[in-house]
Structure 1
């Protein structure tokens, strides 16, 4: 094995050297008795909080592909409703037939097969699960594209992923670069001859380690990174979700999450993988609290994955059919749980980065009232959680440390980024079979009851209304704006429903900048949730005594500023 060129082996060597160095330092700094006591404490920690984690399950679906979870319901119950959307219905039989047609065309006309990426640029509707399932049955992996993204960002993601084509509709096709092949689902001529092409169940199809989908997340280097999720990881997550919520064909699951984000995998495939019904609606309905409430009542929604900001606005009393909530994305107070949790309605606090396939840690809140925010819980089946210090040693119960995740749900890595993959996906030193662990960047601690408590971040990644944002990516985009020489992005009211992204910019010498124009320019480059709500111009950025940018001072200034529009901060004092 060539250690110099293999990023995984290089990461392994680096990790082992750092761990050995840390052990030597500790041994030199303490007596032999103290050191052995420390090792004993670590062994207890392993026993209490890792071995007892839900380790492995011999579930029969481990060798299945994601679309095969749906196909069994297509075959066994074709007349049942797979999805309801704005008054229209799609049965499992119709879903299977339409997906087969798409899959045949993708294979015959575009050569789609294992690990071939196919972009999906589609509005919400019945065609979304058809396209997802069609790509999977062709052997490929889908790449969701947000229809509200700027053209430039869509083009960058498609190029970075090497997408073979994009499935879209005629009204959205203009958002694509002209050179990108496309398949328009609303154009009958697009798939002429599809029925005569070979059957989609081919011997050269994917295996569980091939890609099911790729989803891009905000990147600290200024470039979004594509997270590669395999069939094995996705099937494991759906299996866990079906078991956790005891999903069955009678369930109705609301499809709330933006399809470009990974929580939508729960909305669609937890439902379709259990014979349940996906309940969908246009974006304007989902963003209208009264309309969403009425939708959930009329369609008798039983299970929902909703962000805390939305739950705060809904009334739980009329939602008598709602038996389970899957809530996450950001921290929330005990009062929210107490308002929604009843003996008949479960409230789950779910945690998990995209790199661990939607959710890998869960806490079922008790029916008794809470007096503090709930913990994030324990590892789900086939996952492991380690809380480590900076030397990659396990920390004692109650001590803060960084959360590392291991198990079946880990992504394959970042598409086309072996360097970043080696940095975040490290060899698991507690595994005897050469597995990996993912470095989350989240600070946590074990509670005495064996539950994980979230403490914060080790870096500058933040959440804005539940959406992951790397502040460095925002700053890269700001620095590229005309006339800007320096920039800093901070969050005002972080962790609250009022959280806002704030930017401070310094103009290049002799240049006059317009903060409104900067926001307009950013809207052409970034998703809307990453565009600062306010841009302030400064003469210069405040510095600490050590000469570094004073982020604490900027955060304090953002908190004390009440303006919500684009404005110029007074320049005196900087």
Structure 2
């Protein structure tokens, strides 16, 4: 295939190709390695290097779990610069399915939780559509809202470096993906599977390995009773009054009180405390319930001191919550932000 930029011999720079999905599918036939650009927790762009086979090995499992075949019409509205969306487009092509731009004719869709919430708000036609949600945790309340709208919902946890790790219907129903071993070591998730990346192009990055073939990117969580509980990337932390608070822990503790809305905790600079924890809700009417839960389950140092409501959370180009952008918006009480308490 022409127009196949390479970083080195047999290493394909997928994002630089005119048709990234077709180029990656071709690479699976040639046995090439892939350089897939991704933004880490810090927001810095880097290239994750993996074999094409580390993706294609999962294709039959994904097809079976989603019931994707030649008659499927797959809607992938996000940019192919996101590895999640690129994988979806490549898998659809491999399965002989048709990628469509009109959700009204789709049988399947690949969305982030925020994109799913926006579809529900906009009244998008999801009845009978099998929606695969990834890129961030899928709350039970949002899952139930989508199911009530007639959608069939699947959810997975993974990472650009690890690919698929766990699959289920929502964040409280995640089981190890086929052929994946996942364990937690002192609260950090380690994964062994055929889907792991090789590393990064030209830099060490966050991927760590052990002699037994397990790898981690530092995501925190627990494995018990066949379920994988994901708490989030340990580097998302706020230091307030000399105490370092992992926002994933706070969000996880408060999530049961949020119902169908969304909750994000961010840190905003403070002249005396260093930073102050702020809770941001998409359903401001839930603030009393969420604050009551904070008082009952969190230490005082870990409770958000300020609360805000937004109609929609700002998103990155990949469709994930833009935490840095949200913190800036909250700090300035920008357009669309309402101070609650």
Q: Which runs of 5+ in 1 are unaligned?
A: 1-99, 122-127, 142-204, 281-294, 366-372, 390-400, 430-434, 463-470, 473-487, 505-537, 544-548, 569-574
Give 3-state SS (helix, strand or coil) of 2:88's partner. Answer: helix
Q: Does 1:228 align with 2:58?
A: no
Give 3-state SS (helix, strand or coil) of 2:119's partner. Answer: coil
Spell out the pairing of 1:140-539 with structure 2 (5 A cutoff): 206-207=30-31, 210-218=32-40, 220=42, 223-280=44-101, 295-297=102-104, 299=105, 301-315=106-120, 318-322=125-129, 324-341=130-147, 346-357=152-163, 359-363=164-168, 365=169, 374-389=171-186, 401-418=187-204, 420=205, 424-429=207-212, 435-446=213-224, 448=225, 450-454=226-230, 456-457=231-232, 459-461=234-236, 497=262, 499=264, 503-504=268-269
Q: TM-score, normalised by structure 1?
A: 0.41
Residue 190 of structure 1: aligned partner: none
Root-mean-square deviation over aligned CA pairs? 4.2
Residue range with higher mean Cα deviation, 309-318 or 253-262? 309-318
CA distance in 2 between partners of 1:561 and 1:245 (Å): 35
Aligned length: 279
Give the 3 Å change call, closer, same or farther, for CA 101–304 of structure 1 in structure 2.
Answer: same
Give the 3 Å change call, closer, same or farther, for CA 260–542 of structure 1 in structure 2.
Answer: same
CA distance in 2 between partners of 1:566 and 1:459 (Å): 27
Could you give the per-residue CA deviations for residues 173-210 of structure 1, whole angstroms, max 9, x where no partner exists?
Answer: xxxxxxxxxxxxxxxxxxxxxxxxxxxxxxxx953xx4
Give the 3 Å change call, closer, same or farther, for CA 556–374 of structure 1 in structure 2.
Answer: closer
Q: Which runs of 5+ in 2 are unaligned?
A: 256-260, 278-299, 311-328, 335-341
Per the TM alignment, residue 211 of structure 1 is displaced from its structure 2 partner at its CA by: 1.8
Could you give the per-residue CA deviations for residues 74-127 of structure 1, whole angstroms, max 9, x where no partner exists?
Answer: xxxxxxxxxxxxxxxxxxxxxxxxxx3435xx6xxx897402536528xxxxxx
CA distance in 1 between partners of 2:7 and 2:183 (Å): 42
Per the TM alignment, residue 254 of structure 1 is displaced from its structure 2 partner at its CA by: 0.4
Spell out the pairing of 1:54-133 with structure 2 (5 A cutoff): 100-103=1-4, 113-117=9-13, 119-120=15-16, 130-133=19-22
CA distance in 1 between partners of 2:11 and 2:2 (Å): 20
Residue 556 of structure 1: aligned partner: 304
Name the one with the larger strand percent. 2
Q: TM-score, normalised by structure 2?
A: 0.66
Of 542, 558, 572, 2:273 maps to 542
Give the 3 Å change call, closer, same or farther, for CA 556–268 of structure 1 in structure 2.
Answer: same
Give the 3 Å change call, closer, same or farther, for CA 245–565 of structure 1 in structure 2.
Answer: same
Give 3-state SS (helix, strand or coil) of 1:268's partner. Answer: helix
Give 3-state SS (helix, strand or coil) of 1:232's partner. Answer: helix
Could you give the per-residue CA deviations for residues 299-335 of structure 1, whole angstroms, max 9, x where no partner exists?
Answer: 2x1111222223334357954441x121133334433
Residue 321 of structure 2: aligned partner: none
CA distance in 2 between partners of 1:557 and 1:333 (Å): 23
Structure having the higher Rg: 1
Give the 3 Å change call, closer, same or farther, for CA 386–303 of structure 1 in structure 2.
Answer: same
